[in-house]
Amino acid sequence: GAGVSQSPSNKVTEKGKDVELRCDPISGHTALYWYRQRLGQGLEFLIYFQGNSAPDKSGLPSDRFSAERTGESVSTLTIQRTQQEDSAVYLCASRTSGGSYEQYFGPGTRLTVT
Amino acid sequence: GEDVEQSLFLSVREGDSSVINCTYTDSSSTYLYWYKQEPGAGLQLLTYIFSNMDMKQDQRLTVLLNKKDKHLSLRIADTQTGDSAIYFCAERAAKNSGGYQKVTFGTGTKLQVIP
């Protein structure tokens, strides 16, 4: 079946511009995560959606970052007034509820801020 | 808060065993995971272990958990060049006060397999 998809795969933007990254989770997965992975570093948790509950936004690094998800469908991560330090790969993952809580990852969006 | 640490790099010869280590701080961890990330790709779950287990074996993979020392290891037997990747350890904590079950990832260990 279809996995987690993300778009665009690559995005180059100028400093100060806004960007919107999209994640299509696996159908039926109630939970969705966004992570940031800087070059040569581990995953940095950004935000977590679980069904219709209020999201856990504790990982968002600044108020320039926001994310939305309607129900159990597509999610968008928006970065306003991008800075060079925002350059990273942004990974999305989804999972079902219960069980081992395995997360299924998308291929990521590589964001480069020039 | 939760912290998961790994060494950054490991180099082994093809055919040898690889052992990747991880330490974590959250004693309430329920599940511990090993993910593999190949170049240019997202993470893929390799295996996981529930916190009441000491060991789990899955073909060439052996996971050992020392809950007292909060130490997790992944052993890959007969390491192949296709095993070259970054390996991430992750732990899932018990629900926090907000009811969320956050998964914390380590920084990843880059495994280089020399032919």
C-alpha R_g of chain A = 13
pLDDT at residue B29, rounded to an integer: 77
Residues in a beta bridge with A105: A93
The mean pLDDT of A71-91, rounded to a whole number, is 95
Residues 6+ apart with CB under 8 A from A36: A43, A44, A46, A61, A88, A89, A90, A91
- Which residue out of A5, A9, A48, A103 would a mutagenesis test of the B interface target, given it has the greatest number of B Cβ atoms within 10 Å? A103
Scanning A11-40 for CB atoms below 8 A from B yields: 33, 35
CB A103 within 8 A of CB A96: no
* A107 → closest Cβ in B41, B48, B88: B41
pLDDT in tens, B68-110: 999 999 999 999 999 999 999 998 876 665 556 678 899 899 9
Q: Which two tokens stand for residue A107?
A: 């291929």
Q: Which two tokens stand for residue B104?
A: 């914390």
